[in-house]
Structure 1
Amino acid sequence: MFKKILLLLLLVSTLTSVAQNSYFVDTKKKKTIVRNDAIDILVIDNRISYKLPGKTWEKYITFKDLDYLVHGPYKFKAFTINNKREGYYIIAEEGSKKLVGISIVREVMSSKGTILTRSVYNYLYVLENDTTVLYDLLVKDSKNKRNREKRTEIPEQIKSYFPNCTPLLNRIDSLLQNSSDPEFLSILELIQNPIYIQCN
């Protein structure tokens, strides 16, 4: 009986440790394991709320103290761009270059709580050594000519900076295969679902 209980406890602790695949590393290089189901990136507040495994209370880490967060297929990192510490998802990484981005939804509400307008702002950067901006783009999901033209330039710009990153190029090609997308909105999936790709 004792052996069965011990085996069961060992199995439960093994499953718990395997299931906890989310963690962050702070600027002092300390790694903290966090609950997969309790992570919230608060871009407006420049912080991440999280819960530790087995705990119910929330804790926070600010972008100022964050190096990076790994959560499932996503990698989120704090960068200092234009003298401002901000967080972005790493979409792809090759050598000293990173493709990073984030989508921010802005809604204007009426006094009765209904949404009057909703816009999605998609920020995209190519960074060298985490600080030098090689390319930057702000594009909305609106269907006007200016934003459509910005969306059409995204694939070629990325290909020029990451010509040998086959997984990234394949993902872009798969997003562009939708021929019923004359507004090129499907390319925004790269930013809005920023699955991390390690190129080399």
Structure 2
Amino acid sequence: MKKTFLFVTLCFIAAVVCFFSCEKSDGNVSKQVFLQDAPNLATQNQGFYSKVGKVDVINAPGGDQKQLIIKLHDSSINPYEIRLYFAGGTDAPVLKSGKYEVLFLRSALIINDPVSGKKTEFVVRNDIFNEMKAKLPENYLSSNAVESVGIAVYGNHDNKKGGADLVPTCATSGGPGAVSCSNTCCSVSCTTGYYASCKSDCICIKSSSN
């Protein structure tokens, strides 16, 4: 009898612990903070959106520009890698691998941690940026956004547009005077003072006049 009572008591305690653990878990999910209207903004600005997916972050030194490489693991979208370029004297922000919400807007990138609510924003200031910003809700991008030389995306994020502005696979596009370019391998937007060059890699090259 005592054994039966002890067994029932233990089962009851386990059930109570499980209940409160589930309540806590559900509460955490309900408190997650996601970006406002992100899917529509991605469509309006010819970008893409990943609600929450695994993201690997790699800091890569390189020549006169530093790179922050962001590898995406969201099977629901085509893009698989983002490369952010920074001038040699600029330090890339500290960003650890993890699960993030990702919103790409051609001349801006927002990486949001829904659990902590912390956002890391990157912007490329050029004419495209000004057009994009005009389509966003007021103060959507913070004043703390990190300015980068360029943002390149690998994997065809333009597939939903019909591909009218894309050139054949990995063909050469861009060149002096172009702030952006794309092919079916990658695309890049560059800040003023640099021009976009797209081949098998999409990069930003400092204009000779600067």
| TM beyond 0.5 | no
Structure having the larger proportion of residues in helix: 1
Q: Which has the higher strand share?
A: 1
